Structure 1
Amino acid sequence: MMYFYHYPYPQQPSYPGYHYYYPINRQYPQVDVNVFTKSIKSYRLLMAQGSVLLDRLGDKGFDVKLMTAAQQGNQAEVDRLIKTIGLKVPVKTRYTPTGVTFELTTQPDPGSYMNCCTLTVQLKWGN
């Protein structure tokens, strides 16, 4: 909970009833950028893998197979096709008649219980 002290502040407008409120200074621990730095490195991998995904999706023959499987609601075939790309990170694929979403995630760090980063690629493929 943050407490505020109420004092008139001379540099502010001096009309009746105006008071400036400022918070009590709190001491915060020194920031640690190690986790953030690891996240940035992991995200670079996701972006590189996203680029590999987009390159493969640029192949018309592959796209026809992928869209046909999705149109038929064949999630297993969609997943199989995406696995043939050979990405180094897990990919979750969701689709609708108008678009497809690929969610690329990093592997959990051994010292952590959760993934640090997710790259979501949303593409339109119908009206």
Structure 2
Amino acid sequence: MMYYYHYPNPPHTQPPVYPSNHYYQPMHRQYPQVDPNVFKKSIKTYRLLMDQGSLLLDRLGDPGFDVKLMTAAQQGNNSEVDRLIKSIGLKVPVKTKYTPTGVTFELKAHTDPHAPPNCCTLRVELQWGS
């Protein structure tokens, strides 16, 4: 059954009706004044993480230490890997994850009482196999 419209234009071809222009004026949002204090604390805390990361890299590059770490990881000896990393004496907690091809150290700065909570993480990813 076919229906025929007797309108000048069928409803689906009618030009759309837009509201008047005042609805489309850009809205000027009011934002609060910026406060860089948390950002400054995060930057200061991240500098600490970078210093600690530098100490980590220095120790990882020591002859003998690298072999001990890689051997313990290859054997799946997590407690020895953790002991070796703790022996470096870093001031921030370190999470170590490793695979046959690489190792990741995640340094977090949540122990600093002056830092914003969970503000900063330094992730060091190194390849040690192919």
TM-score per shorter chain, which class? 0.7 to 0.9
Q: Distance in 2 between matches of 1:116 and 1:73?
A: 31
Q: Distance in 2 between matches of 1:68 and 1:28?
A: 55
Residue in structure 1 matched with residue 82 of structure 2 by the alignment: 79
Q: Structure 1 unaligned runs (5+)?
A: 8-20
Q: Distance in 1 between matches of 2:112 and 2:60?
A: 29
Q: Distance in 1 between matches of 2:101 and 2:68?
A: 16
SS at match of 1:26: coil
Aligned positions of 1:79-118 closer than 5 A: 79-108=82-111, 110=113, 114-118=117-121
- Structure 2 counterpart of 1:95, one-letter code: Y
Q: Distance in 1 between matches of 2:96 and 2:106?
A: 6
After TM superposition, give the deviation of residue 107 of structure 1 in Å.
2.5
> Does structure 2 conserve the Cα–Cα contact (< 8 Å) formed by 1:49 and 1:87?
yes
SS at match of 1:30: coil
Q: Structure 2 unaligned runs (5+)?
A: 1-18
Higher normalized contact order (CA 8 Å, seq sep 6+, divided by chain length): 2
State the percentage of identical aligned residues. 75
Between structures 1 and 2, the one with greater strand share: 1
SS at match of 1:60: coil
> Does structure 2 conserve the Cα–Cα contact (< 8 Å) formed by 1:108 and 1:116?
no
- Structure 2 counterpart of 1:61, one-letter code: G
Query: May I ask how many residue pairs the two structures share in their alignment?
Result: 110
SS at match of 1:23: coil
Counterparts in 2 of 1:58 and 1:30: CA distance versus 1, 3 Å: same
